[in-house]
Structure 1
Amino acid sequence: MSAVGDLFARTRSENRAALVGYLPAGFPSVDASIRAIATMVENGVDLVEVGLPYSDPVMDGPTIQAAAETALQAGTRVDDVFEVVGATAALGVPTVVMTYWNPVERRGVDRFAGDLAAVGGAGLITPDLIPDEAAEWDRASRENGLDRIYLVAPSSTDERLELTAEAASGFIYATAVMGVTGQREQTSSLAPELVARLRRVTDKPVGVGLGVSNGRQAAEVAAFADAVIVGSALVRCLLDAPDEQAGLAALATLTRDLRTGMER
């Protein structure tokens, strides 16, 4: 079983959802992103998504786009992403990379998979890669012991849900709303039904993301999903802070609120 699989076996045995936190590598800098992720882990994040900054983030909202742009302007490269992954995995938490597919192809699928595994990475979340077109990644990921985390949406057909669930490993990423990432005042009413539809075709863990920004919303999602995925709200802590220490303090406060909400 993979590190991600081990985590979900443990959280299920504890009758709780896992808290998944996202932060782009290199934001605000490579070293600062390592410190920020460590703060998230220290305050309750169970699994970390390290974002690979990309110049054409079609699914990302303005908050994550702004963070990725900062990272790219600072010169963040794929090797820097692996440095952040290695530092995060060394903390003892499962660590996956969230990336669009183009950077993987540019590096070479086998090389990317090997490099990720070498630093302790657990898998990839690939928002723009569907299982039908992922034969090369399926092979490379299996050879390197990496999880394949695919996305489904409320618009996915039952046939698409079944196909995606069969191809996925680690967990399935259920996007709770249609559209780009970002904080929202309320969680999506479509999310429970999407998770219920997935439950009818698979027993693999399901994580719900897009929109969660506080403990109350996290608690709502934790009631029906195996994982609560938070990105934009965590990134915003750093974007809005006047300096790094203030950003880390805000990040710690929000992470504790999310975790406390989920455990109520």
Structure 2
Amino acid sequence: MSSSILVFGGAGQLGQCLQYVATQRGISNIVFLPEEQANILNTETLRAVFAQHRPAYIINCAAYTAVDKAEDEVDIARRVNRDGVENLARLCGEFHTTLLHVSTDFVFAGTGNQPLTETDPAEPISVYGLTKLEGEQVILPHTSQYFILRTSWLYSEYANNFVKTMLRFGKEREEMRVIWDQLGTPTYAIDLAGALLHIIQTGSTEYGIYHYSNEGVTSWYDFAVAVFELGGLPTRTVPIRTAEYPTKANRPAFSVMDKTKAKTTLGLTIPHWRESLKVCMARLGEQC
């Protein structure tokens, strides 16, 4: 059997979004592999999968993303986010496969106030961010055919995410206290999926690291307010500082990413976060 595109972590949020977009675009030569079928830590299974499919591209959506739990589960976070990526990169080099890998804004400290470019120093302040950065770094020794897309604040109709959590709480509670002093950009995972498939469909060979989120800047507080407004929920939203909601892991205070490189080099058109949120909310409404 021959397949052009393999998706690892195919059952997660981004994997489900890729399935939706691939169907919309009529892309049929794509196989979605859930963790139980192709665990990126099992090198023997991975090699068999590569040998069977001989993919032209793989998209890696598999990751350890429990940011706070990672502070206690350092080893497993590192195994998935670093070692698993290295396993894939090594096989991509052997099989001449192009790797598309998803990374995060958490590779940055977030102490500045200017949009972050791909060449800004990566200085993670959490175990999750550190292991994701290590995952980026282990790719290059094994293959030069890679695209790393750093993204932020992912949400969609699928899996658990901020938007769905706010909608649930908004129906249960009269008031929500939400952090206002962390600034970034929400990313509709359907848009990210579209960007990944755009790279493949255009046959780009402009390999390297790219930043991809929706356009604009917001806080978690303003993001929540927008969700409640669009959801028609009367929930009262109270802004609080990060210090008032302590978490195990530190998070970047400012992680707005500059998307100039992705737009100019890859030819991507990126919607504003509010426009994409409207699309997601409409689709969630249809599912209710």
TM bucket, shorter chain: 0.3 to 0.5
TM score, norm. by length of structure 2: 0.32
Higher Cα radius of gyration? 2
TM score, norm. by length of structure 1: 0.34
Higher helix share: 1
